[in-house]
Amino acid sequence: MSKQTQPTRSEPELSTAADWNALYIDGKWHGPGDRGTLDVTDPSTREVWTEVPAGTEDDVDEAYAAAKRAQESWAEKGPDRRAELVQTVLALLDEYEADLLELLVTESGSSQIKSDLELDTARGIVGEAASFPTRMSGDIRESVMEGKEHLVKREPAGVVAVIPPWNFPFHLSVRAVAPAVATGNGVVIKPATDTPVTSGLAIARLFELAGAPPGLVNVVPGKGSEIGDRVAGHPDVDVVAFTGSTEVGRHVAKQAVDTLAFPALELGGNGPNVVLEDADLDNALSAGAFGTFAHQGQVCISINRHLVHEDIYDEYVAGMVEKAEMIPAGSVHEASSIVGPIINEGQRDQILDYVEDTVEQGATLETGGDTVPVDGVDDSLVVEPTVLSDVDNDMTAACNEHFGPVAPIVPVSSDEEAIELANATEYGLAASVFSGDRNRAEDIADAIDAGMVHINDQPINDEPHVPFGGMKASGLGRYNGEYILEEMTETKWISVQREQRNYPM
Ligand code: NAP
Ligand code: MG
């Protein structure tokens, strides 16, 4: 490497006290050398707890070269060896559970409940991916030509770029890395800058501990605005697995398409939660509160707005206020906190601005709308669970993905109106419908243009074998099960002419 310094360590460990100030390329940890560094902040305390190197475009090139080299021999390995590596990573998730949970709490402001949920979801997809090596099956087809036979085979795509966000940093990175490796690909991760350890470096360390060949998984921390184009548009990339905002995703997709890589895109959402007058109200409120306030609303599949039938509107608003005011909010280093800090100041200010704008537009602030003080922190990032009533679907907090602990509640007078408002967004990721009448709910679910619709449950659901992804501006492709297996592989047709053909020349 042009700017290489001595590898900083060979003994990997996974705690917050470990030295994370390194890039991981070709099986070696490289300190920052003469590169700049990026501070990594604990959003609860707002203290810098580590720093990481700001990788360069040269580093990205080195990472791709390593991934390409490693991939060629990795793809030759039998399915048993590839499954074994992924199974070993799965076992390490248990062995290092306490460290990984501490990293998630510290780096991403995740409550204990959310950290547990995230690690469990990650376990699920790693376990699923361990079955991929023996599921890369093909097909034999008859030919319309006499004496010919067709073989349809699956091959690894090659090198997969993984560009994750900061909200479920570990799971959303691993859900691409594990399937990629299992199906015989090399990987280059450009982690999210707010969470470079949990969305990248810690994953590299797990694969290192598991005995992955050098170069198979590489991590180059660095700002998307500086090295992102090189990552997404690299001549050696075959699949760009991006999870993040629609705005950045559109740009990333252009880089990928320009180099003719496949863009696997999981983008933003604006989840509608439809609550009909025949719903079980207690259930709808508990679920609705969880779907809104879990991880401070920083979930792509959160409920972004509640579309509630006018007959139960007042009761629903009162119930949601009661829930919001009950939820313990504060530093996630307190085990009791359920709502923790917003990831950074910019995101927090945007949420508070959205609430303020919505009130100016005529909505009623029922509760919340401010920050929660945290001991020893000057300017807390914890936002109060907030409920807004008398909201129109086109008010700021309803029509934008607010990504905060905010419940804008919009009254609706019919199923048709609920459907129309649910679909009045460029997004189509997740949605939910509450009703006592399954057929009625299913009709609405069918009519909502979203990749995932949940009946009588809130939308924060992700299972390793069920297709996860969005319609409209929420993305391209699907994660999990055979859906991601297909995206990480190429289909190849081989024909065999068994008997000589008669050609006219
Ligand atoms: P983001 O700002 O779009 O960033 C996502 C990733 O893209 C980060 O790693 C970022 O790096 C990187 N990036 C930025 N500019 C880039 C460029 N020019 N080229 C390549 N990469 C670039 O999203 P976020 O703020 O992290 O996450 C929140 C968004 O993600 C929300 O919209 C949410 O709905 C969406 N999301 C979707 C899903 C899903 O499954 N559909 C899941 C979770 C989140 P830096 O950190 O260095 O900027
Ligand atoms: Mg962002």
CATH number for the domain harbouring residue 449: 3.40.309.10
For position 98, what pLDDT does the model report? 96
Task: Flag whether 73 is in a domain.
Answer: yes
Supply the CATH number for residue 139's domain: 3.40.605.10
The alpha carbon of 347 and the centre of ligand 2 are apart by a number of angstroms equal to: 8
Q: Count CB atoms within 10 A of the CB of residue 349.
A: 12
Residue 300 CA: nearest ligand 1 atom is: 34
Q: From the CA of 190, give the closest atom in ligand 1.
A: 9
Q: Which ligand is nearest to the CA of 251?
A: 1
User: What residue ranges in 423-488 does DSSP mark as E strands?
Assistant: 427-428, 430-434, 452-455, 471-472, 475-476
Question: Of the given ranges (9-23, 60-74, 390-404, 440-454), which has the lowest mean pLDDT?
Answer: 9-23
What pTM was estimated for this model as a whole?
A: 0.97
Q: Is residue 123 part of a domain?
A: yes
Asked whether residue 194 falls in the same domain as residue 330, the answer is no
Same-domain check for residues 59 and 119: yes
- 183 Cα: distance to centroid of ligand 2 (angstroms): 30
Residues having CB within 6 Å of any atom of ligand 1: 163-167, 172, 192-193, 223-225, 228-229, 231-232, 243-245, 248, 251-252, 266-269, 300, 401, 429, 470, 475
Q: Which of 166, 245, 252 to mutate to test the pocket of ligand 1 (most atoms within 8 A of CB)?
A: 245
Task: State mean pLDDT over 375-391.
Answer: 98
Is 162 within 8 Å of 190 (Cβ atoms)?
yes
What is the average pLDDT across 355-372? 98
Q: Is 195 found in the same domain as 277?
A: no
Q: Amino acid letter at 151?
A: L
pLDDT at residue number 443:
98
For a mutational test of ligand 1's pocket, the pick from 114, 118, 162, 167, i.e. the residue with the most ligand atoms closer than 8 A to its C-beta, is 167
Per the domain annotation, does 156 fall within a domain? yes
Closest C-alpha to ligand 1, atom 20: 228
Task: Output the residue whose Cα is nearest ligand 1's atom 30.
Answer: 244
Beta bridge partners of 454: 432
Q: Say if residue 275 is in the same domain as residue 255.
A: no
pLDDT band at residue 4, thresholds of 50, 70 and 90?
very low
Say how many Å lie between the CA of residue 473 and the centre of ligand 1: 14
138 shares its domain with 59: yes
The tens digit of pLDDT for each residue in 440-481 reads 999 999 999 999 999 999 999 999 999 999 999 999 999 999
- Residue 101 forms part of a structural domain: yes
Catalytic residues: 266, 300
Residue 355 falls inside a structural domain: yes
Ligand 1, closest atom to CA 223?
A: 47
Task: Mark out the alpha helices in 191-242 (DSSP H runs).
Answer: 202-209, 224-232
For residues 255 and 293, membership in a common domain is answered with: no
Cα-to-centroid distance, 193 and ligand 1 (Å)? 10
Task: State yes or no: pLDDT of 271 exceeds 60.
Answer: yes
Q: What is the domain count for the chain?
A: 2
pLDDT band at 79 (very low <50, low <70, confident <90, very high): very high
pLDDT at 10 (0 to 100)? 47
Mean pLDDT of the chain: 97
Kind of pairing, strands 148-156 and 159-163? Answer: unpaired
Beta strands in 159-238 (DSSP E): 159-163, 186-189, 217-219
Average pLDDT over residues 69-87: 98
195 and 282 both lie in a single domain: no
- pLDDT tier at 428 (50, 70, 90 boundaries)? very high
Q: Is residue 479 part of a domain?
A: no
Residue 175 counted as domain residue: yes
Mean pLDDT of 167-182: 98
| Residue % of the chain over a pLDDT of 90 | 97
Domain identity same for 232 and 282: no
Q: 299 and 207: one domain?
A: no
Beta bridge partners of 386: 406
pLDDT tens per residue, range 288-303: 999 999 999 999 999 9
Q: Dump pLDDT digits (tens) for 326-362.
A: 999 999 999 999 999 999 999 999 999 999 999 999 9
Alpha-carbon distance values, 31 to 9, 27, 37, 230 (Å): 9, 13, 10, 21
| Ligand with the closest atom to the CA of 429 | 1
How many whole angstroms from 248 Cα to the centroid of ligand 1? Answer: 6
How far does the centroid of ligand 2 lie from the alpha carbon of residue 245, in Å? 7
Does the structure show a pLDDT above 60 at 375? yes
Nearest CA to ligand 1 atom 39: 266
Catalogue the long-range contacts made by 38-43 (C-beta closer than 8 Å, 24 or more residues apart): 38/193, 38/196, 38/221, 38/222, 38/223, 40/107, 40/194, 40/195, 40/196, 40/197, 41/194, 41/344, 42/106, 42/107, 42/109, 43/108, 43/109, 43/340, 43/341, 43/342, 43/343, 43/344, 43/381
Helices (H), ranges, 233-307: 246-258, 281-293
Domain containing 214 equals 4-267
**Could you tell me if 401 and 417 lie in one domain?**
yes
Ligand 1: which residue has its CA nearest to atom 12? 224
Helix, coil or strand: residue 254: helix
Q: In angstroms, what is the span from residue 198 Cα to ligand 1's centroid?
A: 15
Across the range 169-192, mean pLDDT stands at: 99
AA identity, residue 216: L
- What end-to-end distance do the CA atoms of the chain give, in Å? 56
- Examine the fold and report which residue of 267, 284, 301 is the final residue of a domain before the chain moves on: 267
Give, using CA atoms, the residue closest to atom 23 of ligand 1: 244
- Report the pLDDT value the prediction gives residue 12, as an integer from 0 to 100: 55
**What are the backbone dihedrals phi and psi of residue 90, each rounded to the nearest 5 degrees, phi first?**
-60, -45
Q: Given a cut of 70, is residue 8 above it in pLDDT?
A: no
Question: Given its phi and psi angles, is residue 477 left (phi above 0), alpha (psi -120 to 50 degrees) or beta?
Answer: left
The residue to mutate among 199, 300, 426, having the most atoms of ligand 1 within 8 angstroms of its beta carbon, is 300
* Alpha carbon nearest to ligand 1 atom 11, residue: 224
Separation of 502 CA from ligand 1 center, angstroms?
A: 56
In a domain, 68, yes or no: yes
348 to each of 244, 340, 427, how far by Cα in Å? 17, 12, 22
- Ligand 1 atom 14, closest CA: 224
User: 108-144: per-residue pLDDT in tens?
Assistant: 999 999 999 999 999 999 999 999 999 999 999 999 9
Would the pLDDT of 151 be above 80? yes
Q: Is the pLDDT of residue 75 over 60?
A: yes
Same domain membership, residue 414 and residue 431: yes
498: number of Cβ within 10 Å:
9
Instruction: Ligand 1, residue 191: give the atom nearest the CA.
Output: 9
Spatial separation of the C-alpha atoms in residues 291 and 359, rounded to whole Å = 22
> Which numbered atom of ligand 1 lies nearest the CA of 164?
9
The mean pLDDT of 25-49, rounded to a whole number, is 98
For atom 15 of ligand 1, which residue has the closest CA?
224
pLDDT for residue 99 is more than 60: yes
My answer on whether 228 and 362 are in the same domain is no
**Tens digit of each residue's pLDDT (9 = 90 or more) over 236-249:** 999 999 999 999 99
Residues 294, 299: Cα–Cα separation, whole Å = 8
Of 267, 283, 312, which closes a domain? Answer: 267
pLDDT, residue 9, reads 47
Q: In this structure, which ligand is nearest to the CA of 462?
A: 1
